[in-house]
Amino acid sequence: MAEPVPQVVIVTGGSRGIGAAVALRAARAGYAVVVNSSADAAGAGSTVEGITADGGVAVAVQADVSDPAAVARLFDAAASLGTLAAVVNNAGITGNLIGPLTDVPAATVRRVLDVNVAGMVYVCQEAVRRLSTEPGGRGGSIINISSTATKAGSPGTWVHYAASKGAVDVLTVGLAAEVASQGIRVNCVAPGSTNTGLHAAAGMPDRVERLNHTIPMGRGAEPDEVAAAVLWLLSGEAGYITGAVLPVSGGR
């Protein structure tokens, strides 16, 4: 009897933080995982090593999601592992700075929008092309990673970033309705303050701890807690859910 073809999930921005946690959980759930990164080859390699050491299947693929041609190559690489079943659209940046919007350089604004908005769109476009039942695909699931920063807008810190994540929420809702008849579910997970390297990279490593008093549960999330929500939305238990924006925020 022929071996079953692996179900493949692509995780963009999978070299660290939430993306790495999603990749590891997905592998434990039985997916073959494509771990994408833009430049962090060492981090992506570490995620792959963690998966393979646990008996899973994974490959690291470098691709800048703001480049549509690179996104197409990323999906081509996924096809070599098995049948694409899911895409976790996690790649996102803040521009590695914290401050008022007037202090954000134009080049930083452009790069954040290119990755967080245009990159999300390019990945969603390619995912629909590959998953849609209309041209013969098998359907599947897309999870976009947003942020609860969209609620308050992150004044004084990351207004540009919060604005980009607001676009992700709208993209999710619109695309979910557009492709529901094509066998594709599109949902969004919106983490609150999460213990990742994002804050340290922007020069404020204690930012999550400083926000704890604003969170009803009194602490920031761990990446694996966000990953658990992602994997649930990918599962059959969430089979009638599409167009949802699920906050994972401790009540904030």
Look up residue 78 and give its two tokens.
């996924």
In this structure, the number of other CB atoms found within 10 A of the CB of residue 235 comes to 12
DSSP assignments along the chain, one per residue:
-PPPPPEEEEETTTTSHHHHHHHHHHHHTT-EEEEEESS-HHHHHHHHHHHHHTT--EEEEE--TTSHHHHHHHHHHHHTTSEEEEEEE------S--S-GGGS-HHHHHHHHIIIIIHHHHHHHHHHHHH-TTTT---EEEEEE--THHHH--TTT-HHHHHHHHHHHHHHHHHHHHHGGGTEEEEEEEE-SB-STHHHHTT-TTHHHHHGGGSTTSSPBPHHHHHHHHHHHHSGGGTT--S-EEEESTT-
Tokens 């590695």: give the residue.
96
161 is catalytic: yes
Active-site choice (31, 122, 161, 240): 161
Q: What are phi and psi of 118, to 5 degrees?
A: -60, -40
Cα 176 to chain centroid, rounded: 16
Cα 235 to chain centroid, rounded: 16
Active-site residue list: 161
